[in-house]
């Protein structure tokens, strides 16, 4: 495996960054998780746009243009001879001293690209659906650390994930500070009620997921009404269908939330239809190499 760090490729064991890198010391940096399907990097431009927006907000200067980042991603995929891949693109503040001050970070941000084989979720998740729970850890408040910034600091999500695992679940619904549904630890959430789709808006403390956007696009084309709307737990429990979206997970049906059966307790019709249409989109929309 060859890993890209600041324009050079290193073997896995030789790919190292400084212990003074503020990405490590403070989670000071941004990242993207991207996927390639049969030599097509799905929605790569959208991922790069989101990366640059996250970096802009934390005043992190990415030392490459968007076009150069796209080239570097493609180069990494080719170097590793991968047709299908999961790509992790990371930009840290770089090497500084032990204080917080980002001005002390020498020269350049650290740009890292890792391309690996995708580890698929077990097939039964998609066939039978997931049982998930809501957890006590509240999603980061947008007015404190906006979840729209895809930062390297994922401790909020990890705490929620630990709570889910302790309860025997693989994913958790995180609520906002008022108790409304925000998103999951690594996925966005949708519910279906009377053939309408509902998902929380960004102001509730959610990442603007690329998969979420894709699902909304597909729904639009299929004339399925989509609403970005406040969602309560009651509405989730009484929804007809529920599913999660994310780059790694794609679309995963949810059949049980906090012990309440959703719909008929198996993946719903609309969810299954969206899963099919999403598969088609992954063959078309992105950058080929
Ligand atoms: N929310 C969170 C917290 C995430 O980490 C992710 C995965 N990046 C998502 C939602 C889904 O976003 P995307 O569809 O862009 O992968």
What are the C-alpha distances in Å from 235 to residues 179, 198, 228, 241, 266? 12, 10, 14, 11, 18
The predicted pLDDT at position 251 comes to 98
Q: Residue 104 C-alpha to ligand 1 middle, in angstroms? A: 31
| CB-based contact 167:195 (threshold 8 Å) | no
Mean pLDDT, residues 58-71: 97
| CB-based contact 185:175 (threshold 8 Å) | no
- Phi, psi at 218, each rounded to 5°: -60, -45
Q: Which atom of ligand 1 is nearest to the CA of 206?
A: 1
* pTM across the whole model: 0.97
Catalytic residue list contains 71: no
d(CA 208, CA 246): 10
Q: Do 161 and 252 share a domain, yes or no?
A: yes
Q: Whose CA is nearest to atom 5 of ligand 1?
A: 186
The predicted pLDDT at position 27 comes to 98
Q: Do 18 and 92 share a domain, yes or no?
A: yes
Residue 45 falls within a domain, yes or no?
yes
pLDDT band at 37; cut points 50, 70, 90: very high
Q: Residue 186 C-alpha to ligand 1 middle, in angstroms? A: 5
Alpha carbon 201 to its chain's center: 16
Of the residues 116, 146, 178, the one at which a domain ends: 116
The domain that holds 263 is classified in CATH as 3.20.10.10
Structure tokens at 158: 């990890």
Q: Whose CA is nearest to atom 12 of ligand 1?
A: 209
Q: Residues enclosing ligand 1, CB less than 6 A?
A: 33, 157, 183, 186-188, 207, 209-212, 245-247
Q: Do 148 and 275 share a domain, yes or no?
A: yes
How many Cβ atoms from other residues are within 10 Å of residue 98's Cβ? 9
Q: Do 201 and 251 share a domain, yes or no?
A: yes
Task: Single out the residue of 269, 254, 253, 245 nearest to residue 43, CA to CA.
Answer: 245
Q: Do 228 and 197 share a domain, yes or no?
A: yes
- Phi, psi at 48, each rounded to 5°: -70, -40
The predicted pLDDT at position 140 comes to 98
Residue 140 falls within a domain, yes or no?
yes
Strands 110-116 and 85-92: antiparallel
Residue labelled with tokens 């790694």: 248
Q: Do 274 and 165 share a domain, yes or no?
A: yes
The predicted pLDDT at position 50 comes to 98
Q: Residue 79 C-alpha to ligand 1 middle, in angstroms? A: 26
Q: Do 172 and 276 share a domain, yes or no?
A: yes
Total domains in the chain come to: 2
Of the residues 99, 116, 133, the one at which a domain ends: 116
Q: What is the sign of the dihedral through the CA atoms of 219, 200, 23 and 60? A: positive
Q: Residue 246 C-alpha to ligand 1 middle, in angstroms? A: 5
Q: Do 150 and 108 share a domain, yes or no?
A: no
Q: Whose CA is nearest to atom 13 of ligand 1?
A: 209
**120 has pLDDT over 90:** no
d(CA 228, CA 241): 16
The predicted pLDDT at position 132 comes to 98
Q: Do 54 and 138 share a domain, yes or no?
A: no
Q: Do 93 and 127 share a domain, yes or no?
A: no
Residue 289 falls within a domain, yes or no?
no
Identify the domain containing residue 6 by its residue range. Answer: 2-116
| CB-based contact 112:236 (threshold 8 Å) | no
pLDDT band at 119; cut points 50, 70, 90: confident
Of the residues 116, 135, 154, the one at which a domain ends: 116
Which range among 87-91, 154-158, 201-205, 210-214 shows the weakest confidence by mean pLDDT? 201-205
d(CA 255, CA 125): 10
> In terms of DSSP H, where are the helices of the chain?
22-26, 44-57, 66-79, 123-128, 155-166, 210-221, 233-237, 269-281
Structure tokens at 198: 């509902």
The predicted pLDDT at position 114 comes to 98
136-146 pLDDT, tens digit each:
999 999 999 99
**108 has pLDDT over 90:** no
| CB-based contact 3:16 (threshold 8 Å) | no
Residue 149 falls within a domain, yes or no?
yes
The domain that holds 37 is classified in CATH as 3.30.470.10
């Amino acid at each position: 495996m060859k890993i890209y760090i600041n324009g050079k490729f290193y073997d896995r064991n030789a790919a190292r960054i400084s212990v003074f890198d503020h990405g490590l010391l403070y989670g000071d940096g941004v990242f993207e998780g991207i996927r390639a399907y049969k030599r097509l990097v799905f929605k790569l431009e959208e991922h790069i746009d989101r990366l640059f927006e996250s970096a802009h907000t934390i005043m992190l200067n990415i030392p490459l243009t968007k076009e150069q980042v796209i080239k570097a991603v493609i180069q990494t995929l080719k170097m590793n001879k991968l047709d299908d891949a999961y790509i992790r693109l990371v930009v840290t503040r770089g090497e500084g001293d032990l204080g917080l001050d980002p001005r002390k970070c020498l020269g350049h941000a650290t740009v890292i690209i890792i391309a690996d084989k995708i580890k698929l979720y077990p097939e039964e998740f998609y066939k039978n659906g997931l049982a998930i729970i809501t957890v006590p850890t509240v999603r980061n408040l947008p007015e404190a650390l906006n979840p729209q910034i895809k930062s390297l600091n994922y401790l909020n999500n990890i705490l929620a994930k630990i709570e889910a695992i302790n309860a025997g679940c693989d994913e958790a619904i995180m609520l906002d500070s008022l108790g409304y549904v925000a998103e999951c630890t690594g996925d966005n959430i949708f519910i279906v009620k009377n053939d309408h789709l509902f998902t929380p808006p960004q102001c509730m403390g959610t990442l603007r997921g690329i998969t979420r956007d894709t699902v909304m696009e597909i729904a639009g084309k299929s004339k399925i009404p989509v609403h970005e709307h406040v969602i309560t737990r009651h509405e989730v429990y009484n929804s007809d269908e529920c599913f999660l979206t994310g780059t790694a997970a794609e679309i995963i049906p949810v059949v049980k939330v906090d012990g309440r059966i959703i719909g008929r307790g198996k993946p719903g019709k609309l969810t299954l239809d969206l899963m099919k249409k999403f598969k088609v989109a992954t063959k078309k929309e992105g950058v080929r190499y």
